[in-house]
A and B are shown apart, each in its own frame.
Chain A
C-alpha cells in the first residue's frame, strides 16, 4: 500500500504542538515526539485560472497536537473537506497494482502582525489562512503553540519574499482519537485558489530534517495543456516520471469524488517524484500551464527577489510566509502529518 499525503500544493512544515517533557535546556521537544515524514503526495490541478489543491492530513504521531504550515500562491476562495478518493486514484494511475488474475479487480523581521484571513475546522484539523511576512507568520505560529525548528525562519523568509499567504493546520491527535479516528486515517483538504498558474512549494519539505535524511514526495499535476516545468529533470532530487494525456478512466473516476466535478473532459497528467536530501531541495516547482512555455524562475525560487504573479496577470502578490512548527518533536513535513487516507 502506498500512503499518500496531499499537501496543499506541496509541502508542509509540520511540527508537534503542545508541550511535552523537555529534553534539553529550553526544551520544547517531547521525548516521545516521533513524528516522521513518510511520504508526501500532492495534487495541484489547474483549470480556468483556478488551482485545486487536494491534501490530506494524517495522524502519524504518538499523541498530542501537531501542526503544519504550507505556503500558498494566493488566497483561497474555499477550504473544505476533500474527497477520500482523489489521491489514491492518482497513485493507482501511475503505479497500477499487478493483477493476480487477468480478471481480478485491482485494490489497493518585525513587520505588522500576520492577518488571519480564514479559519475553519475540518474534522480534527484547525485550519488558518494567514497573510504576513516571514517574521509575522513565524511570530503568529509561536504565539499559537507551534515550535519552529531552527531552519524555519530562513525558509519562511524564502517564501514570504514572493507571496504572503500561508496555511497553518493544527491536528489534535488526542481529539481525533476520541472521535474514533484511527492511526493511518487521514483528513483530505481541498483548497480552491485563483492563480495564473499552478505552483508547488518543494523546499519546505526539507524543513526539520536531518542533513542525511532523504525526502520523498509524489507530486501530481492536472492541467489543461502540457505544462512547462521549472526545474525539470535536471534538478537534483526531482524526476519527471510521467507526462501524458490523462486517461478517460482517470478523469471519470476523479470527477466522481467530492468537490471534483469541476474537471473538464480532457486534461494533461504530470507525475513528478521527489527523492532528495534537504540540501538539494532548494527550489520549488514552477509550472506554466498556459501553453506559453515560460515557467517563472521566481516561482521556482530561483530568483527570490521578485514576487509571484497573481491571477490578474503579473501583479505581484507579494511575499508569502509560512509558519510551521510544533512542539513535541521535530519539524516534519507534511508526510507524517499530512497523509491522505489510503485505499487499497
Chain B
C-alpha cells in the first residue's frame, strides 16, 4: 500500500498546484478498482476543506464515508441505502463518478478514517486512514 499512498500524496500535490475549484480547497481524486481505493492513506492539514472526487470503475456500487470510528461504526451497522446529504458521505453507482466535500478538524482530533460500508466491503479491505498533520 505504500505505493498507493505515495500516489495519493502526489495527487494531492497536483491538486493543490492546480489551485482547487471550490473555495480554494484542494481536490483529491480517489479511484476504486476491483473494490480497492487507489490510496490507503491521505494527509491533510488541520481545518482544511477538501473536495473528494470518487471514480468507481467497478460494475458494482461503492461509497465513500469519511469520519472517525464512531461515524464508521454507525454506517457499518446502519441501514441507510444511499448517501449524499452529509458532507464526507457519498454513494457511487457502478461505473459512475461522484463527489463530496469535507472539512477536517484540528490535528489533535480523533483519527479520521474513510471507507465503504456496503455489505462486506470494509472487511474486504475498502478502508484507509486520513492523517491530519
Give the interface of A toward B (CB within 8 A).
Answer: 22-29, 109-110, 134-139, 141-142, 147-154, 156-157, 325, 330
Contact = CB atoms under 8 A, between A and B. Distances in A.
Given A22-B79, A139-B94, A151-B35, 18 more contacts: A23-B119, A24-B78, A25-B79, A25-B118, A26-B63, A26-B82, A26-B83, A26-B117, A27-B79, A109-B57, A134-B59, A142-B61, A150-B60, A151-B124, A153-B34, A153-B59, A154-B35, A157-B34
8 contacts: A24-B77, A25-B80, A25-B81, A25-B118, A28-B118, A148-B59, A150-B120, A153-B34
A29 B35 CA distance: 17
Contacts of B124: 149-151
Given A24-B119, A27-B119, A153-B34, A139 B82 contact: no
A138 B117 contact: no
Interface residues of B, number: 29
A26 B61 contact: yes
B97 to A, nearest CB: 12
A142 B56 CA distance: 14
B19 interface: no
Interface in B74-132: 75-83, 91, 94-95, 117-121, 124, 126
Interface of B: 33-35, 57-61, 63, 65, 75-83, 91, 94-95, 117-121, 124, 126
B91 A26 contact: yes
A24 B80 CA distance: 7
Contacts of A150: 35, 60, 118, 120-121, 124, 126
B120 A26 contact: no
B119 A138 contact: no
B60 A148 contact: yes
Given A150-B126, A151-B35, A153-B35, A25 B59 contact: no
B63 A25 contact: yes
B120 A135 contact: no
A24 B116 CA distance: 11
A110 B124 CA distance: 23
A51 to B, nearest CB: 28
Contacts of A325: 60
B42 to A, nearest CB: 21
Contact of A25 (B58, B60, B83, B94): B83
Interface centre among A136, A137, A153, A156 (most CB of B within 10 A): A153
Given A24-B79, A150-B35, A153-B35, A29 B119 contact: yes
Nearest to B91: A26
A157 B34 CA distance: 9
Contacts of B121: 150
